[in-house]
Chains A and B, each alone.
Chain A
């Protein structure tokens, strides 16, 4: 077997400059962690909690006496397949038997489980789980393997070089000796942790690159998987919160006698974000909340409407904002020509609407605070809770459960729903576990939305039809302003999450200008699967399509020429176009549209085919090509392409959260529409073969469908739709 010394593999390949732009969570990289670590596998990894006779060489795995391997996942499993992917990395280098590998969520402990792309922070997001762990977890597996082999060599008195490990069995061919991992576990534990580890040559991968089974399927199929909603603890109470009708409204009076009369209701407690009803079970809490009468002081509450905001954004977009990128003389070039294509695009507020509404369990006692949560941002939540309770962060213990979706919602720098649960638990008798559940209505109305954005664009073409100048202005709230990340992440007035995907528009355009307005509003906003790209891909890929049509050129050929210096964009564009039979004739009312976009260092192209019939857009087929470097699990990648695209399709066609004089108009799935099975198109997924380090797949498919679809609708109808969700003129 050919091996590479991991010491020479730099993870700096993923890192560009002081800020790592793997949005989702675009966080400053602290210098001490960015610095290359020595190749020792023992590097401050600590060990995973182990019992006597077990072998736990580092923080990421342990092997028990039966030979079962437990991989400790530092990342949240919220559907994206991370438990499977991370375990694959360990098992690959360990040469473990995949069937004997199980996965366990890591505790909150950033000293061992930090996201290597986020400095000293532990958390999941920005499609970084596999990318940041790729070397780390393979090294963890390789170190364990070396220790098992050393133990066998010692026991059998044979040279290490003659020992092989195949699917969980350590063997010495010449003597015919064999031992399972379990038999060697205890002896391996007393071996020194290797100073350097040898990693496999990718050609020797047995698990990476294969469609091996997910680790979380069985328990999610038989109903035994534990989500936060499912945790039951002795003496546990359930709380529902009555939230204010408008953002910024304050409680001014509580009439709780009717609520307290509901059987099962034990307490009504006021918290900063509203009034909580504490009861023995959900239904009592719900009846109690229905009976609760709260009067609100709305004098300082947010009172504006979406349409009004959009109009204000429109005016703002006509004024100069903070410059995010300025190549050449775009503004001047545009001033000197009459032939300017001008367009306005906009997208609404969106709710994440994971199927599991937000929930959290908290128990506070003398020792500290224990939390059960689909935990996406351990370090942030730990610090926020510790600050609220006057504890040390390590006194806040967090149990990471499966999350029933998140799409960014469970990683909130403001720790909103977690703190809400802590505020309630704090007012209860010590030691009583408190489960706070949001109803669907709370989940829709209590905030933290993808911001509303408006873009104004102007462009002109050169005589060959290529874009000569492009001027774009983005207006929308900053996600990071006012969060603990602001100082590190908002540079020179530019929140990178507002402009990512636009500021790095890959097309060859000599004169390019992009500026940004970040109006401040009390509407709470947050990253939403694929973050800035949710709007920048829609706008950029629609507008480039407009330019192609204005130039009278084929949209694929047009992009190809302008992407000559971007081989990975080109790779996915060409693959998707070929597989979709780009250019093949279509029937009446049908159209085909393309879009290509990079996010989180992964490249995705999609070709959508639509039929427009009686004013309704039907999406018939979507062809997706992805380049995410080494494909750790092609089946999980395919699933994320299908699902990520489907998630984007909800926003492209159905979902819209509207404010009317400060009130959120939608409340549940009847008026906040998401994709249903009969609306899901045929999907084909193609993965570009690659030897590059793996990059994320959870988000990059999401932003590409809206522009592909809008472009297809244009091809089918001649209508250029510039507002999401897409609605045909009647």
Chain B
């Protein structure tokens, strides 16, 4: 039996400890905002937090997640997370939307460390999050807008 804490809620699951966290979250907990796209840590669609740090859940075995705080897009309720989501809405970042849970998780992680990221900071933090719709220009603008808002400035 594995004990997992997801978005603050405890779950007990009888699963193979080698199963990637992604599939426990999607198929067993039923939280489907975290997406599968590549399965090999190449796209960022499955990004969640373990104790606040972004990880690719498609290559993170359950055994590693045990005892840690797991946060998915559904549980993203920090001030930074909300600011990112608001900026995304304001700038209409999404297109198909499939990559966007991962984009928002990575962007929030970046802004949680650094509210004034430079373009190079954004490149470094976000270049593992692919978007086939190429919403990148707006993702960049969204991160900057959220950062400005968090810093209390006017956007």
**Which residue of the partner chain A has the closest CB to B34?**
A223
A214 and B94 form a contact (CB under 8 A): yes
Interface residue A440 (Cβ < 8 Å from any Cβ of B): yes
Instruction: Give B116-150 as 1s and 0s: 1 = Cβ < 8 Å from A's Cβ atoms.
Output: 00000011001101111111111110000000000
B133 and A79 form a contact (CB under 8 A): yes
Binds B, one of A24-32, A142-150, A641-649: A641-649
Interface residue A338 (Cβ < 8 Å from any Cβ of B): no
Which of chain B's residues have a CB closer than 8 A to the CB of A78? 96
Which of chain B's residues have a CB closer than 8 A to the CB of A281? 23, 27-28
Tell me, rounded to whole Å, the shortest Cβ–Cβ distance linking B106 to chain A.
Answer: 10
Which of chain B's residues have a CB closer than 8 A to the CB of A644? 134
B98 and A355 form a contact (CB under 8 A): yes
**Which residue of the partner chain B has the closest CB to A645?**
B134
A220 and B28 form a contact (CB under 8 A): no
C-alpha spacing A210/B86, complex, angstroms: 20
Number of interface residues of A (CB under 8 A): 63
**Which residue of the partner chain A has the closest CB to B72?**
A223
C-alpha spacing A404/B32, complex, angstroms: 13
Which of chain B's residues have a CB closer than 8 A to the CB of A678? 123, 126-127
Partner pick for B130 among A216, A355, A649, CB 8 A cutoff: A355
B94 and A440 form a contact (CB under 8 A): no
B72 and A677 form a contact (CB under 8 A): no
Tell me, rounded to whole Å, the shortest Cβ–Cβ distance linking A450 to chain B.
Answer: 14
B30 and A440 form a contact (CB under 8 A): no
Interface residue A227 (Cβ < 8 Å from any Cβ of B): yes
A642 and B134 form a contact (CB under 8 A): yes
Partner pick for B42 among A220, A406, A668, CB 8 A cutoff: A668
Interface residue B19 (Cβ < 8 Å from any Cβ of A): yes
**Which residue of the partner chain B has the closest CB to A354?**
B132
Interface residue A283 (Cβ < 8 Å from any Cβ of B): yes
A405 and B98 form a contact (CB under 8 A): yes
Interface residue A676 (Cβ < 8 Å from any Cβ of B): yes
A355 and B132 form a contact (CB under 8 A): yes
Which of chain B's residues have a CB closer than 8 A to the CB of A356? 35, 37, 96, 98
C-alpha spacing A404/B95, complex, angstroms: 9
Which of chain B's residues have a CB closer than 8 A to the CB of A315? none
A216 and B97 form a contact (CB under 8 A): yes
B23 and A649 form a contact (CB under 8 A): no
Interface residue A439 (Cβ < 8 Å from any Cβ of B): yes
Number of interface residues of B (CB under 8 A): 54
Interface residue A575 (Cβ < 8 Å from any Cβ of B): no
Which of chain A's residues have a CB closer than 8 A to the CB of B34? 223
A229 and B74 form a contact (CB under 8 A): no
Partner pick for B133 among A263, A439, A647, A670, CB 8 A cutoff: A647
C-alpha spacing A639/B134, complex, angstroms: 9
A232 and B30 form a contact (CB under 8 A): yes
Q: A229-B32, A229-B35 are in contact. Are A283 and B96 (CB under 8 A)?
A: no
Interface residue B36 (Cβ < 8 Å from any Cβ of A): yes
In chain B between 1 and 39, which residues have their CB closer than 8 angstroms to a CB of chain A?
16, 19-20, 23, 26-28, 30-39
A223 and B40 form a contact (CB under 8 A): no
Interface residue A244 (Cβ < 8 Å from any Cβ of B): no
Interface residue A370 (Cβ < 8 Å from any Cβ of B): no
Q: A213-B92, A405-B96 are in contact. Are A283 and B134 (CB under 8 A)?
A: no
Interface residue B89 (Cβ < 8 Å from any Cβ of A): yes
Q: A281-B23, A356-B98, A440-B40 are in contact. Are A674 and B130 (CB under 8 A)?
A: yes
Which of B34, B97, B139 gathers the greatest number of chain A CB atoms within 10 Å?
A: B97
**Which residue of the partner chain A has the closest CB to B15?**
A283
Partner pick for A220 among B72, B97, B127, CB 8 A cutoff: B97
Partner pick for B138 among A230, A282, A406, A639, CB 8 A cutoff: A639
Tell me, rounded to whole Å, the shortest Cβ–Cβ distance linking B66 to chain A.
Answer: 17
Interface residue A403 (Cβ < 8 Å from any Cβ of B): yes
Q: A439-B39, A677-B129 are in contact. Are A404 and B96 (CB under 8 A)?
A: yes
B97 and A404 form a contact (CB under 8 A): yes
B35 and A677 form a contact (CB under 8 A): no
C-alpha spacing A650/B135, complex, angstroms: 13
A222 and B73 form a contact (CB under 8 A): yes
Interface residue A221 (Cβ < 8 Å from any Cβ of B): yes
Which of chain B's residues have a CB closer than 8 A to the CB of A282? 23, 26-27, 36
In chain A between 189 and 223, which residues have their CB closer than 8 angstroms to a CB of chain B?
213-214, 216-223
Partner pick for B96 among A223, A355, A642, A675, CB 8 A cutoff: A355
B36 and A229 form a contact (CB under 8 A): yes
Some 26 contacts from A to B, beta carbons below 8 A apart, are A79-B94, A217-B89, A220-B100, A221-B89, A221-B100, A222-B85, A223-B101, A227-B98, A282-B27, A283-B19, A355-B98, A355-B130, A355-B133, A357-B36, A404-B98, A440-B40, A646-B133, A646-B137, A668-B39, A668-B42, A676-B136, A677-B122, A677-B131, A678-B123, A680-B137, A680-B140
List 10 A-B pairs, minimum CB-CB distance, nearest first.
A223-B33, A646-B134, A404-B98, A220-B97, A79-B96, A79-B95, A223-B73, A230-B32, A680-B136, A678-B123
